């Protein structure tokens, strides 16, 4: 059974007839130029955008789940997050337990340890760098124990060390029987960590399939309107503009 499936999903003029599935145990990469509809697609999957078409989670129609049930199943990491209150890091991470109605200390502490933010636990989130805050928000998602993580550019504000660390965390999460749907701009990291790729352009899917079949010089050059060099046989894979 697919973790998530979409059929003929459309969002006004931003997405048109999107059909895709997310398999258990995989990282599905969403790639496209700015304005292609990546964020709109991810917001639709978690119920933030109004849409037409059909979304199923674990075989059940999306709307059949109560909001707390959906939040337990799907954890959402938006591209940008601003805290409306001046909160300590551990309190931000504890918000991940809201769908469960508890403050399970062991799970909160485990999430902070996993994302290497435990040392900031008593600091105010406003005092942290952008990269540090990004890891705190990821810890909040992990604390909620979702079956699926939907992440919009989770590594965009991180240095190269933590880019790898976060992608490794998402890899371990997927390999433990869960799934990840991620919008990502770093094509080399997408090739390294994603099992399948969807290429979006102007709200439509122009290619979908296994990473090695989808991330080619020809398809990427056409998508981004620039010559692209792809070496997916390299370890790690290399994708760069020529």
Q: What's the whole-number mean pLDDT along residues 185-212?
A: 96
Q: What is the pLDDT of residues 128-145, one digit of tens each?
A: 988 898 899 999 999 999
Tell me 88's DSSP state: B
What is the third-level CATH fold of 4-241?
Answer: Rossmann fold (3.40.50)
Residue 241: CB atoms within 10 A of its CB come to 11
Q: Model pTM?
A: 0.94
Which residues on neighbouring strands pair with residue 210, listed in sequence order? 196
Residue 64: CB atoms within 10 A of its CB come to 10
Q: Among residues of the chain, what percentage have pLDDT more than 90?
A: 88
In this predicted structure, what is the pLDDT of residue 83?
Answer: 64
Q: Is it the case that residue 114 has pLDDT exceeding 60? A: yes
Distance CA 110, CA 174 (A): 17
**Domain spans of the chain, in order of start:** 4-241
Residue 221: CB atoms within 10 A of its CB come to 16
Which tokens in the block code for residue 29?
A: 């990469």
- Provide the terminal-to-terminal Cα distance of the chain, rounded to the nearest Å: 41
């Amino acid at each position: 059974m697919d973790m998530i499936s979409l059929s003929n999903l459309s969002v006004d003029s931003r997405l048109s007839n999107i059909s895709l599935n997310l398999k258990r145990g995989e990282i599905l990469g969403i790639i496209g130029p700015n304005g292609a509809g990546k964020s709109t697609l991810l917001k639709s999957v978690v119920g933030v955008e109004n849409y037409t078409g059909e979304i199923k989670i674990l075989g059940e129609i999306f709307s059949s789940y109560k909001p707390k049930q959906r939040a337990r199943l799907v954890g959402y990491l938006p591209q940008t997050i601003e805290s409306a209150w001046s909160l300590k890091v551990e309190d931000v991470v504890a918000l991940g337990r809201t769908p469960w109605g508890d403050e399970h200390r062991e799970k909160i502490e485990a999430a902070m340890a996993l994302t290497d933010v435990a040392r900031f636990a008593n600091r105010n989130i406003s005092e942290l760098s952008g990269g540090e805050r990004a890891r705190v928000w990821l810890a909040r998602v992990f604390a909620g124990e979702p079956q699926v993580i939907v992440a919009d550019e989770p590594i965009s504000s991180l240095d190269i060390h933590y880019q790898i660390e976060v992608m490794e965390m998402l890899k371990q999460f997927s390999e433990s029987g869960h799934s990840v749907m991620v919008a990502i701009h770093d094509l080399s990291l997408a090739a390294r960590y994603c099992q399948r790729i969807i290429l979006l352009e102007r709200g439509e899917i122009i290619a979908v399939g296994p990473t090695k079949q989808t991330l080619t010089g020809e398809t990427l050059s056409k998508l981004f309107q620039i010559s692209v060099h792809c070496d997916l046989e390299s370890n790690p894979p290399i994708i760069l503009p020529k």
